[in-house]
Amino acid sequence: MANGKILRQLFKAGTLGDQAAFRRASEAIIEEERQKQHHLLANDLEQILYGGDMHVQSARKPQFTADIPVDKERGLPLLDIRPPKRSLEEIILPESSSVMIEEMLEEHRRSEVLRSYGMKPSGKVIFFGPPGCGKTLAAEVIAFELDRPLAIVRLDALVSSFLGETAANLRKVFEFISKHQLVVLFDEFDAIGKERGDSSDHGELRRVVNAVLQMMDAYDGQSLILAATNHESILDSAIWRRFDDAIEFPLPDRKQLTSLLQLKLRGIRRQFELDDGELLAELEGKSGADVERVVRRAIKRMILRNQEFLTIKELRSALVREGLRKH
């Protein structure tokens, strides 16, 4: 059975006649049933939702067709645009971070109310914290919840070896996203926002950071800009002031680890409690991405060995295989 939060969203959307929200909630329920291995039920629900025609699903989510800007030097696209697939149920964060994301979503869903009072929703937000703690996932979740395409800026194409070309590429990106309603993620933002006083730079870095500051100051487009960094300490101090909010993504504590295990082990029969102290001690200090890899590896072993239940032994073995076991 779908969890209470999704069911509340479904009923609320149906009562208000919000078709987009109803579809999102319905698709989240279908995905949840698939993860529980309830494939027949998931298929039946899809038949009901899409009227028996699976092509309707893609028709209701049209592909993004605008011409994506490219790097002049190599002809590489500067953004990777994709439809988001994961909802708010898929991310486990500290309460303070979750509240900030939910507030951001509410601001954008009710932006017309804010504008009627001469105010705007947050348009530029930075995520910071260690690798693997959900920054990229959060961008996808926000795009899914706002029913917008997710555009990830490709730093490999953005940063050019030609003098001045990186700033030109940045200008192309900002001009493009200002015309479309996207959720845009600048991942590894420190690559273009590094402290200008760094003694190792050779002048080009300062020009790029100055260009970023100018474009962020001037930006007044339709897209929501998200930036993510694993190295917040090296960002130029002036960069932080250009963002409306900064949201931390720390390593999960024991409470979040328990919730993460509950999420990743849905529908999996097991011989241990999720709040087992020894298990949580093994996982402490690991990122959400680490935990997900460990769980996936353990479940694969369980399936291939025809075991009925997952045990802590499989999880510990997976920790060793992933190189994450404490000594």
The full 3-state SS of 180-195, as one line of letters, equals CCCEEEECCCHHHHEC
Start-to-end CA distance of the chain, whole Å, equals 40
The sheet that has 183-186: what strands, in order across it? 79-82, 150-153, 183-186, 224-229, 124-128, 245-248
Question: Residue 130 belongs to a domain with what CATH number?
Answer: 3.40.50.300
User: Does the residue 70 lie in any domain?
Assistant: no
User: Does the residue 31 lie in any domain?
Assistant: yes
In this predicted structure, which of 57-71, 86-100, 112-126, 287-301 has the lowest mean pLDDT? Answer: 57-71
Contact between 304 and 310 under an 8 Å Cβ cutoff? The reply is: no
Statement to judge: residues 106 and 202 lie in one domain: yes
Q: How far apart are the C-alpha atoms of 30 and 112, rounded to whole Å?
A: 31
Statement to judge: residues 104 and 210 lie in one domain: yes
Statement to judge: residues 149 and 267 lie in one domain: no
Statement to judge: residues 144 and 218 lie in one domain: yes
Range of the domain at 9: 4-59
Q: How far apart are the C-alpha atoms of 240 and 232, rounded to whole Å?
A: 9
Statement to judge: residues 219 and 239 lie in one domain: yes
Statement to judge: residues 293 and 168 lie in one domain: no
Work out the angle at residue 288's Cα, subtended by the Cα atoms of residues 142 and 152, and round it to the nearest 5 degrees: 40
Give the tens place of pLDDT for each residue, 192-250: 877 666 555 556 677 888 888 899 999 999 899 999 999 888 888 888 999 999 999 99
Question: Residue 268 belongs to a domain with what CATH number?
Answer: 1.10.8.60
pLDDT of amino acid 203? 63
Q: Is 283 exposed, middle or buried (0-12, 13-18, 19+ CB in 10 A)?
A: buried
Contact between 229 and 235 under an 8 Å Cβ cutoff? The reply is: yes
Confidence of residue 57 (pLDDT cuts 50, 70, 90): very low
Number of domain units in the chain: 3
pLDDT of amino acid 54? 43
Confidence of residue 92 (pLDDT cuts 50, 70, 90): very high
User: Does the residue 269 lie in any domain?
Assistant: yes
User: Does the residue 69 lie in any domain?
Assistant: no
Give the tens place of pLDDT for each residue, 148-193: 999 999 888 888 767 678 888 999 999 999 999 999 999 988 878 7
Statement to judge: residues 234 and 262 lie in one domain: no
Q: How far apart are the C-alpha atoms of 183 and 277, rounded to whole Å?
A: 39
Boundary of a domain, candidates 202, 229, 248: 248
Statement to judge: residues 152 and 14 lie in one domain: no
CA-based torsion, 155, 157, 162, 164: positive or negative: negative
User: Does the residue 326 lie in any domain?
Assistant: no
pTM across the whole model: 0.78
Confidence of residue 53 (pLDDT cuts 50, 70, 90): very low
Cα–Cα distance list, 58 to 62, 148, 156 (Å):
6, 14, 30
Q: CA nearest 244: which of 136, 141, 120?
A: 120
Statement to judge: residues 130 and 194 lie in one domain: yes
Boundary of a domain, candidates 215, 248, 281: 248
Q: Is 193 exposed, middle or buried (0-12, 13-18, 19+ CB in 10 A)?
A: buried
Position 2, amino acid: A
pLDDT at 326 over 80: no
Statement to judge: residues 98 and 233 lie in one domain: yes
Statement to judge: residues 195 and 303 lie in one domain: no
Statement to judge: residues 140 and 195 lie in one domain: yes
